[in-house]
A = this chain, B = another copy of it.
Amino acid sequence: MKTFNEYLEIVNKEIKAIPYPQTPSNLYEPISYTMALGGKRIRPVLVLMACDAVGGDVQQALKAAVGLELFHNFTLLHDDVMDNADVRRGQATVHRRWNSNVAILSGDTMLTMASQYMCQVPTEHLAAVNELFHATAIEVYEGQQYDMDYEHRREVSVEEYINMIRLKTSVLLGCACKLGAIIGGADEKTAQAFYEVGENLGIGFQLQDDVLDVWGDEATFGKEIGGDIMNNKKTYLMVNAFKLANEEQAGRLRRWYTDSYAMKQEKVPAVTRIYEELGLREIADKAIEEYTQKALSVLETIELSAEAHESFGALAASLVKRNK
């Protein structure tokens, strides 16, 4: 097994080597711009790690790894159009820098490029890899649709929220792990266990994102703190707050929630105070811990080298204990 950074280097080198035609430049420049923005590259690294862990040849999984990162970045590109977001990874989003037509069409192209990369696996795995990739992609779209639907609903249950982030975020991490395992030659039971490892890590990962939006350090996190609160975004904290608040707290919460003119320097601390009164930081930390433990206990059921177990354990810890 290699370190996270060694896998990352392999992935980044392959991403840099993606060939983009010169023309039409309005189609391909936004794609190379998006892929150069960086990001944690967790999904492609997971593909390589899982492949390596089951004793496979990492090189055989590399194209699929890049395909998954292309897919992930395509979803971000289209999500940014739908959310009308200005900034992604500290840079202007594609629809701001170009326009939304360019963003739609470049995104479509990235999705098909993702499929092209996904087909560059050993022939014996082609059918299984495609089946998993497509089923996961559809779940990601469903998650995004629920996310948009929930914006217009006041009441979203904790279960609905968890299922939404499972679809929107976690299944892709599950898919990454399972893809690596399949290409590495694992049997179906092992591959499925890898899926569950990734899926549970993914839920912990998203919950940690919700926590960092409130209690993170702006400089380290790289995003504005309180963005979710200002946007009234349904998060694990928000849906739990509405569930656990007493009448007085619910009143305060609802007031901030419906006050479209609230100033950031007042609203964010006020809502954070309610979250803290309700002990939501501890509740969230506990949930994150549980999902991580679930991932690790599934990992325990897989027969792997001690080194592989250690690598995944370290990655799991870093994903949920991250501060950025």
Interface residues of A (CB under 8 A from B): 21, 23-24, 26-27, 78, 81-82, 101, 104-105, 107-109, 111-113, 115-116, 119, 123, 126-127, 130-131, 134-135, 137-138, 141-142, 144-146, 148-149
Contacts and interface: CB of A to CB of B under 8 A. Distances in A.
Contacts of A149: 24, 26
Copies of this chain in its oligomeric complex: 2
B134 A112 contact: yes
A53 to B, nearest CB: 27
A27 B130 contact: no
Contacts of A78: 104-105, 108
B108 A82 contact: no
Could you say which of A24, A78, A126 has the most chain B C-beta atoms within 10 Å of its C-beta?
Answer: A24
A111 B123 CA distance: 23
A246 to B, nearest CB: 32
Given A24-B145, A27-B141, A27-B145, A81 B108 contact: no
Could you say which of A21, A23, A142 has the most chain B C-beta atoms within 10 Å of its C-beta?
Answer: A142
A137 to B, nearest CB: 5
A188 B251 CA distance: 70
